[in-house]
A and B are shown apart, each in its own frame.
Chain A
Amino acid sequence: MTSIKVELKQHQAEKLREVCRSFGNQEGELINVLHKAQGIFGYLPAEVQEMVAEELNVPVARVYGVVTFYSFFSMIPKGRNPISICTGTACYVRGAEKVLDEFRKQLSIGIGETTPDGKFSINCLRCVGACGLAPVVMIGEKTYGRVAPDEVKAILKEYEND
């Protein structure tokens, strides 16, 4: 997994230590800590994982092993407008793949990637439980239901001035 290098600012480091402390620096709380850390930083760069490892007193290899196991955790920052395309069965049957292809074509990026300007990123997720609206696309908190491939351009246009 590639990673973006960052330097943690003093106050960010302190915040992260505080998160670890709030879970009693227990190694069993690793996943909870990582959830919080990703909440703070938006993603989990190597430096954050190293710090978590140190605070919880576990090998950093193990932290990395956990981060790379779960699809919810990411080492790449998401775009300002993260696009999530549901590829659950119901959405698949109703054409999610074509919608996904269209987003990739329009933005020239692949799944799990972020546009160079940091505006959009594309991710797939498995069933948001809105099968009635299939195929479903979420951009940030906003949900688009029954999306057709030829609507993709118009949807992206909504974020033109971001």
Chain B
Amino acid sequence: MNTINLTIDKKPVSVPAGTTVLEAARSLGIQIPTLCYLGLHDLNIENKPAGCRICVVEVEGRRNLAPACATDCAEGMVVSTHNIRVLNARRTVMELILSDHPFECLTCAKNGTCDLQSMAQELGIREIHYQGEKSTYRKDTSPSIIRDVDKCILCRRCEMMCNDFQTVGALSGVNRGFQAVVAPAFEMNLEYSSCTYCGQCVAVCPTAALTEVDHTGKVLRALADPGKTVIVQTAPAVRAALGEAFGMEPGTLVTGKMVSALRELGFDHVFDTDFAADLTIMEEGTELLGRLTRFLEGDKQVRLPILTSCCPAWVNFFETYFADMKDIPSTARSPQQMFGSIAKTWFAERIGVNREDLVVVSIMPCLAKKYECQREEFSVDGNPDVDYALTTRELANLIKQANLDLKQLPDSDFDQPMGESTGAAVIFGTTGGVIEAAVRTAYEIHTGKSLNRVDFKELRGLENIRSATVDFNGFPLRIGIAHGLGNARKLLEEIREGKSEYHAIEIMACPGGCIGGGGQPLHHGDSSILKARQKAIYTEDELKVIRKSHENPAIQELYASFLGQPLSEKAHHLLHTHYFEKKKRKVSIG
């Protein structure tokens, strides 16, 4: 590769061809502020419309300032990143952005975690010299996401995630000039658009133009109600990221501290979604084996590959775009919903509490979970199996509100029986984890042999689409894994065209799986954070004594005392679901 020599702030530097001025400056330790730019290079995600103009620098010989994020280094280039001309321009541009931004920082959802706020501070803005009309739009609240586009700075990150990475296409730049904004078609509510609530728009939004619907108030009220028994479940990816909200290093596992915090917050029982993840493997694994056996017996009707169904954004996606194939995914409900269903039947009965008086709260890395628990089919007589789904960020806020210092809390264990789980369950939190967990169980059941190694490293990683073949006693089981709905779409289209060679496919909507979920502490474009979380998940797996779902004693007891067998009638009723064609708004023909 060609090497390019240039000078940045009087320091010589050599970089490979194709390096941007921003990257070259960072390699010298020079921080050029950015706002619209976002790069998650390990995941092939990049947003550089060069629109905000905060990262402008002076390049000798050029008439205008150049955006560092989108300007490639050239031989002999002389760059100044912080001279007076640049500082004045940067500050003026920042003042312009702020002149069209509501001043509600004190009550804003992003107060303290807002990129715009910290940039204003960094640039030393104390006064805004330019005042005038501000853009105003209707606030739009959907089951998962709030759009408050008065706060949009048109960085276009959400649009890029929604279109390029997820291929959902719910959002687009609309109007032009001062009226330009990112919105769904006809500026309709997100709820009526093709939005899957994956929340990746929220995950990358630098301001509070896109935020989650906050349910902490409702949870506090339930906790304060002496007539309610409030139980909580925590998803696997939460424990690998919650610590970041308290200044801990990315990848710090805080499972025990989190349990203590939840107990301090007053939850009557602190349980683990991992328990339900093991249950999911029992049901989904059995379903996979069932289809596989029929396939091997020559049944031409059997639908393969089987698709995982734990990810609610992914479910919304195929209900919208691939409804013609809705008999392909596993019918197994997601762990969150299996947990809720078992909690409000088996567990409620065990502790002698009426369904109506039991409140199930889940802590999720996810925004689509908020929508999922509101789906009609997951309720009984109007009472939902899961009452509220909080994000990791909301939990962090609750903990801070209660004046708890997570770092100082002691480690403690989940309550029993729904706190018992295996290493197979915890890896649900990362891309490749669900299918690895399924393979561990399906292999042993199918072959009758016990695995001498449980780590299927060939299924791990962060590549967009991965595939591997696992030897099932002479039968090569072909597995596909995709994270990101755009990558999922590719595998789905192969199936539709009859070209898919896979027997089983795992799909997660978010980059990296749930570790990169829309409800996690913000990664601010740093993909090393996602890698650290992934590593933490696999560490937790290794630390577990039991690492195969079917060996979970609490699960074994649940089947023995209540459900009978996987895929039994009762299991079907409580743990499986069916899919609907999501009606996109259609032209009415009169």
Contact = CB atoms under 8 A, between A and B. Distances in A.
B586 A61 contact: no
Nearest to B193: A61
A26 interface: no
Interface string A1-38: 10100011110010000000000000000000000000
B590 A62 contact: no
Interface stretch (B173-181, B360-368, B514-522): B173-181
A10 B589 CA distance: 6
B186 A1 contact: yes
A51 to B, nearest CB: 5
Contacts of B495: none
The A interface is mostly helix, strand or loop, or mixed, namely helix
Nearest to B176: A69
B545 interface: no
Interface string B164-197: 0000111111111000000111110000011000
A61 B184 contact: yes
A59 B183 CA distance: 12
Contact of B588 (A47, A54, A65): A47
A108 interface: no
Contact of B172 (A13, A47, A48, A65): A65
Which residue, of B174, B183, B187, has the highest number of chain A Cβ atoms within 10 A?
B174
Contact of B590 (A8, A46, A50, A69): A8
A67 to B, nearest CB: 9
Nearest to B186: A46
Contact of B169 (A48, A54, A61): A61
Which residue, of B170, B187, B587, has the highest number of chain A Cβ atoms within 10 A?
B587
A60 interface: yes
Contact of A62 (B172, B175, B589): B172
Contact of B186 (A51, A59, A64): A64
B62 interface: no
A60 B185 CA distance: 6
The B interface is mostly helix, strand or loop, or mixed, namely loop
Place the interface of chain B in its size category.
20 to 34
B587 A61 contact: no
A51 B587 contact: yes
A1 to B, nearest CB: 7
Contacts, number: 71
Nearest to B188: A46
Contacts of B589: 7-10, 13
Given A3-B186, A7-B590, A13-B589, A61 B176 contact: no
Nearest to A13: B589
Given A13-B589, A51-B587, A61 B175 contact: no
B171 A8 contact: no
B216 interface: no
B5 interface: no
B527 interface: no
B185 A64 contact: yes
Contacts of A58: 169
A13 B587 CA distance: 9
A13 B185 CA distance: 20
B163 interface: yes
B420 to A, nearest CB: 44
A93 B230 CA distance: 73
Contact of B174 (A8, A9, A51, A68): A68
Nearest to A49: B185
A68 B590 contact: no
Interface string A59-82: 111111100110000000000000
Given A1-B186, A8-B590, A49-B185, A61 B585 contact: no
Contacts of B175: 1, 68-69
Contacts of B184: 61
Contacts of B586: 50
Contacts of A9: 589-590
Contacts of B170: 59, 61
B49 to A, nearest CB: 14
A65 B174 CA distance: 4
A55 to B, nearest CB: 10
A50 B173 contact: no
Nearest to A3: B186
Contacts of A51: 587
Contacts of B193: 61
B397 to A, nearest CB: 31
Contacts of B590: 7-10
B176 A68 contact: yes
Which residue, of A8, A13, A51, A61, has the highest number of chain B Cβ atoms within 10 A?
A61
A3 B174 CA distance: 15
B172 A64 contact: yes
Contacts of A65: 172-174
Contacts of B183: 61
Contacts of A3: 186
Nearest to B184: A61
B187 A1 contact: yes
A46 B587 CA distance: 9
Contacts of B172: 59, 61-62, 64-65
Interface in B118-177: 163, 168-176
Contacts of A47: 587-588
Interface of B: 163, 168-176, 183-187, 193-194, 584-590
Given A3-B186, A58-B169, A61-B183, 16 more contacts: A7-B588, A7-B590, A9-B589, A13-B589, A49-B186, A50-B185, A59-B168, A61-B172, A64-B185, A65-B174, A68-B174, A68-B175, A68-B176, A69-B173, A69-B175, A69-B176
Q: Which 8 A-B pairs have the closest CB atoms?
A: A59-B169, A65-B172, A61-B172, A7-B590, A64-B185, A60-B185, A61-B185, A47-B587
7 contacts: A1-B187, A7-B589, A10-B590, A47-B587, A50-B586, A61-B171, A64-B186
